[in-house]
């Protein structure tokens, strides 16, 4: 977490690094290979006070933090995510206004932030490889955790198709082309300021749902409105449960880039644990389907281990395989967590597991 490691600009916290080294060493001792994320939404206050990612110097400061962190942890960590869901961070902070800094309909700021985050990722990618090469390490893996959705025309009309394509381009493709290839797409920019190349060693997918797109005459909503497919199963937040979307995204981006795919987040909020087990089974079935068609999916990370704090929904959205009583901090493994644990132990789903979890 950036603010823990660099609480003041240019001043680093050695105690925080020592804590992270201890955590990582314990993971390695149990056979867990960590995938370290360097930016997951939160900023140091000193960065926020300077305009956060809208400041053109943000990339300089991020690179400084990345270099220091890599120098301190690079002997333990080979696998890195530079930035988690940059599109979500910018959308909720500058378009929807439900995350800090709470701005609404700031399209120019959205694209300014996109440009700065794209260029910061490229610099971080190069820095992580360079630092670990100096350590004599050749196994560095660096990527981005992209939040990807399926945008589907609600009735198949051309205006809906146009809006769906616009949502995909501005919410997803400008980040994928920029961070993955170094190519800026308008309106985030033009050309390749840091050079064209391959700036990801794996393709990270955070997948949760799809949106049905209806046409609207409003440029602030990208000429469309988003809704849930009529009659579809939904989770506690009203998101459609659409497992096939995971297969579709893996297929699309593996065909484009031919690099390993990491499913860096996939999960659902289900306070009663009524459908999470089926959710896990159905989404892993799509992962298996993709692998059987030749798609190189190397990792799947379930979101999330324990109930967590969601930035807008707080403690109300229960994503955990383990239930947390936040008053007492007591943890209880949910049935879905037991199911997922058995999948990990067995390397798949057995007939006995199907009998236990899906019959009766």
pLDDT digit string, tens, across residues 220-275:
889 899 999 999 999 999 999 999 999 999 999 999 999 999 999 999 999 999 99
Per the annotation, the verdict on 71 as an active-site residue is no
Is residue 167 a part of any domain in this protein? no
Residue pLDDT, tens place only, 59-78: 999 999 999 999 999 999 99
| Helix, strand counts (H, E) of the chain | 12, 9
Is residue 337 a part of any domain in this protein? yes
**pLDDT > 90 in the chain, percent:** 97
**pLDDT, mean of residues 303-331:** 96
Query: Which residues on neighbouring strands pair with residue 219, listed in sequence order?
Result: none
Is residue 112 a part of any domain in this protein? no
Query: Could you tell me where the DSSP H helices lie in the chain?
Result: 2-5, 14-29, 45-49, 58-73, 86-94, 107-134, 158-168, 174-181, 244-257, 276-292, 335-346, 351-358
Is residue 281 a part of any domain in this protein? yes
- CATH number of the domain encompassing residue 258: 3.20.20.80
Q: What is the pLDDT of residue 218?
A: 87
Per the annotation, the verdict on 85 as an active-site residue is yes
Is residue 8 a part of any domain in this protein? no
User: Residue 151: enclosing H or E segment and its boundaries?
Assistant: strand 141-153
Residue 255, C-beta contacts closer than 8 angstroms, at least 6 positions apart: none
Distance, in Å, from the CA atom of 179 to the CA atom of 199, rounded to the nearest integer, reads 6
Number of domains in the chain: 1
Q: What is the pLDDT of residue 220?
A: 83
Distance, in Å, from the CA atom of 14 to the CA atom of 72, rounded to the nearest integer, reads 9
pLDDT at 140 over 70: yes
Query: Which residues on neighbouring strands pair with residue 215, listed in sequence order?
Result: 224
Is residue 255 a part of any domain in this protein? yes
pLDDT band at 360 (very low <50, low <70, confident <90, very high): low
Residue pLDDT, tens place only, 155-205: 999 999 999 999 999 999 999 999 999 999 999 999 999 999 999 999 999
Domain residue limits at 344: 244-360
Residue pLDDT, tens place only, 285-313: 999 999 999 999 999 999 999 999 999 99
Q: What is the pLDDT of residue 195?
A: 98
Tell me the pLDDT of the chain averaged across its residues. Answer: 98
Distance, in Å, from the CA atom of 218 to the CA atom of 225, rounded to the nearest integer, reads 9
Is residue 273 a part of any domain in this protein? yes
Four-CA torsion 9, 195, 253, 105, nearest 10 degrees: 50
C-alpha distances in Å from residue 38, one per residue of 73, 81, 111, 250: 12, 6, 21, 24
Q: What is the pLDDT of residue 238?
A: 98
Is residue 324 a part of any domain in this protein? yes
**pLDDT, mean of residues 92-117:** 97
Q: What is the pLDDT of residue 68?
A: 99
Q: What is the pLDDT of residue 285?
A: 98
Residue pLDDT, tens place only, 337-354: 999 999 999 999 999 999
Distance, in Å, from the CA atom of 244 to the CA atom of 237, rounded to the nearest integer, reads 19
Distance, in Å, from the CA atom of 120 to the CA atom of 98, rounded to the nearest integer, reads 24
Query: Which one of the listed residues 152, 160, 240, 265 is annotated catalytic?
Result: 265
Query: Which one of the listed residues 85, 160, 168, 240 is annotated catalytic?
Result: 85
| Nearest Cα residue to 285 out of 319, 243, 254, 320 | 243
Q: Residue 159 corresponds to which tokens in the numbers above?
A: 């205006």
């Amino acid at each position: 977490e950036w603010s823990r490691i660099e609480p003041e600009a240019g001043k680093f916290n050695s105690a925080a690094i020592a804590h992270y080294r201890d955590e990582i060493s314990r993971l390695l001792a149990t056979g867990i290979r960590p995938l370290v994320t360097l930016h997951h939404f939160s900023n140091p206050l000193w960065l926020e006070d300077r305009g956060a990612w809208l400041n053109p110097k943000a990339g300089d400061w991020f690179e400084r933090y990345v270099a220091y962190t890599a120098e301190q942890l690079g002997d333990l960590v080979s696998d890195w995510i530079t930035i988690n869901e940059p599109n979500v961070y910018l959308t909720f902070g500058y378009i929807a206004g439900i995350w800090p800094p709470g701005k609404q309909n700031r399209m120019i700021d959205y694209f300014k932030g996109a440009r700065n985050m794209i260029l910061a990722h490229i610099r971080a990618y190069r820095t992580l490889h360079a630092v670990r090469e100096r350590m004599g390490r050749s196994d560095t893996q660096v990527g981005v955790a992209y939040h990807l959705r399926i945008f589907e025309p609600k009735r198949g009309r051309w205006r809906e198709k146009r809006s769906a394509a616009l949502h995909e381009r501005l919410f997803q493709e400008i980040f994928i082309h920029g961070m993955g290839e170094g190519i800026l797409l308008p309106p985030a920019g033009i050309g390749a300021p840091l050079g064209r190349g391959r700036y990801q060693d794996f393709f990270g997918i955070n997948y949760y749902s799809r949106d049905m797109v209806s046409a609207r005459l409003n440029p602030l909503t990208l000429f469309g409105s988003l809704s849930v497919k009529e009659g579809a199963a939904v989770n506690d937040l009203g998101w459609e449960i659409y497992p096939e979307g995971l297969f579709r995204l893996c297929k699309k981006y593996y065909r484009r880039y031919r690099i390993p795919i990491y499913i860096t987040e996939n999960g659902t909020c289900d306070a009663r644990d009524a459908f999470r087990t089926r959710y896990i089974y159905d989404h892993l079935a799509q992962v298996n389907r993709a692998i059987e068609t030749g798609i190189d999916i190397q990792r799947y990370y379930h979101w999330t281990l324990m109930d967590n704090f969601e930035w807008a929904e707080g403690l109300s959205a229960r994503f955990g395989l383990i239930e947390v009583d936040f008053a007492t901090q007591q943890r209880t493994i949910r049935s879905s967590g037991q199911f997922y644990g058995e999948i990990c132990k067995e390397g798949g789903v057995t007939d006995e597991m199907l009998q236990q979890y899906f019959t009766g």
